[in-house]
Amino acid sequence: MSIVSRWLLAASALLLGGQSALADINMPVGVTPISKEVYGLHMMIFWICCVIGAVVFGVMFYSMFKHRKSKGAKPADFHESTTVEIIWTAVPLVILIAMAIPAAKTLIAMEDTSDAEVTVKVTGYQWKWHYEYLDSGISFFSSLHPDHNAARQKGSGVDVSQFDNYLKEVDNELVLPVGKKVRFLHTSSDVIHSWWVPALAVKKDAIPGFINENWALIEEPGVYRGNCTELCGRDHGFMPVVVRALPEAEYDAWVAENAPAPAITESTGAAATTAVAAVEEDADREWGLDELVAKGEGIYNTNCASCHQANGQGLPGAFPAITGSPVATGPIDAHINTVYVGVSGTTMASFANQLSDVDMAAVLTYQRNALGNSVGDTVQPSAIKALR
């Protein structure tokens, strides 16, 4: 980007309400070599379009002021000129070629995912992301932060302007190293999602049955936020992406702290993977009704309430109510089966890989003994463990 365009952009931003306005009206420059190139391309085409617009509109408005009947203009009667036609076919063609060359170069660079040092598999779920570090075995889900999730409910009464990054905060951030080429593998377990972080200029669809590739080399430590950008159902607007880029040493420390012991492959949170022994023990002991219900409430609100609603009433026709549900108040095995296996052909997915033994037992017990239900029995984590 030239000095002139930088200056012009700043000037237009000032006109529109001061320096801070700039970030709110233009593409971020970003923190990767690719994002900077893309930003440069964007500004280049933007200014080319401005020039074309200025010329076209200039001639047009000049004509509209000069050649009006009220000013006594008499109509000429020319209506053809092959030379002129050729000129205004050829000139745009040349401009297009000039734009296409740098665009093609950037595109080639974007598609080159070779020589990555870290690979993260990103799987879209309705409506959360699952991250799996293929090198270190760390894996966890990342959902909208519970506080934001509570605030965004219709009629929550919460003033959302109190949050610094409303709807762009998650429970577990994706931690990445600075200065290393990171490769992303995108896929989905249900519908199509799209993983986007503007500051990294990475946007790729997560498609069931496909694995797409992408990459980023982050140059500055920081927190970069984005969203799912492919309509993916009711809570499409509520599955943010948050990337925390750490300097290499800090990143290595984070990996060492969170890498799972070989036996455990799956858990609900990065932090939880540390307490391997504790988890084992938790799954085996006998839990009381109250502690399961207490734990289940949070799990329910994060994982189930988007569809079945926080009050358990569901949305008629789309998602059944849990309150009074024949399944949630009926035989335990059928209830477990619904959640563990899912209901094929519907949006009710299998939660076997999404919830730990304890979490699944808790949420099932919660459904049976809260939200207006009071069956009175418990689902023990050991029962879930036995299914695995």
State the residues that interact with Cu ion by CB under 5 A: 193, 228, 232, 239
Tell me the window of 1-9, 50-58, 135-143, 176-184 that interacts with another protein (CB under 8 A). 50-58
What is the distance, to the nearest Å, from the Cα of residue 232 to the centroid of all Cα atoms in its chain?
11
Q: Which of 6, 10, 14, 111 binds another protein (CB under 8 A)?
A: 111
Q: Pick from ligand HEC, another protein, Cu ion, none: which does 381 bind, CB < 5 to 8 A by kind?
A: none
CA distance 49 to 67: 26
Return the closest-CA partner of residue 172 out of 150, 141, 203: 141
Is there binding between residue 292 and ligand HEC (CB under 6 A)? no
Count of C-beta atoms within a 10 Å radius of residue 343:
14
> Residues 6 or more apart from 48 whose CB is under 8 A from it?
95, 99
Contact between 88 and another protein per CB under 8 A: yes
x/- track of binding to another protein for residues 186-205 (CB under 8 A): x---xxx-x-x-x--x-xxx
- 331 phi, psi to nearest 5 deg: -55, 140
Residue 237 site contact among ligand HEC, Cu ion, another protein, none (CB < 5 to 8 Å, cut-off depends on kind): another protein
- Written as one letter, the residue type at 64 is M
Total residues at the site for ligand HEC (CB under 6 A)?
22
Q: Please state, in angstroms and as integers, the Cα–Cα distance from residue 197 to each residue in 28, 44, 172, 224, following that order.
A: 10, 22, 16, 7
Closest separation in Å from C-beta 236 to ligand HEC:
11
Beta bridge mates, 119: 183
- For the CB of residue 304, give the shortest distance to ligand HEC in the complex, in Å: 3
Integer angstrom CA distances of residue 388 from 259, 269, 356:
22, 19, 11
Establish if 147 lies at the interface with another protein (CB under 8 A): no
Is residue 346 near ligand HEC by the rule CB under 6 A? yes
Q: At closest approach, how far in Å is the CB of 28 from ligand HEC? A: 32
- Does residue 319 belong to the site contacting ligand HEC (CB under 6 A)? yes
**Strand pairing category for 128-133 and 118-125:** antiparallel
Question: Is the Cβ–Cβ distance between 250 and 175 less than 8 Å?
Answer: no
Residue 11 binds another protein (CB under 8 A): no
Of residues 194 and 367, the one with the C-beta less far from ligand HEC: 367
Binding interface with ligand HEC (CB under 6 A)? 126, 303-304, 306-308, 319-320, 325-328, 335, 338-339, 343, 346-348, 351, 363, 367
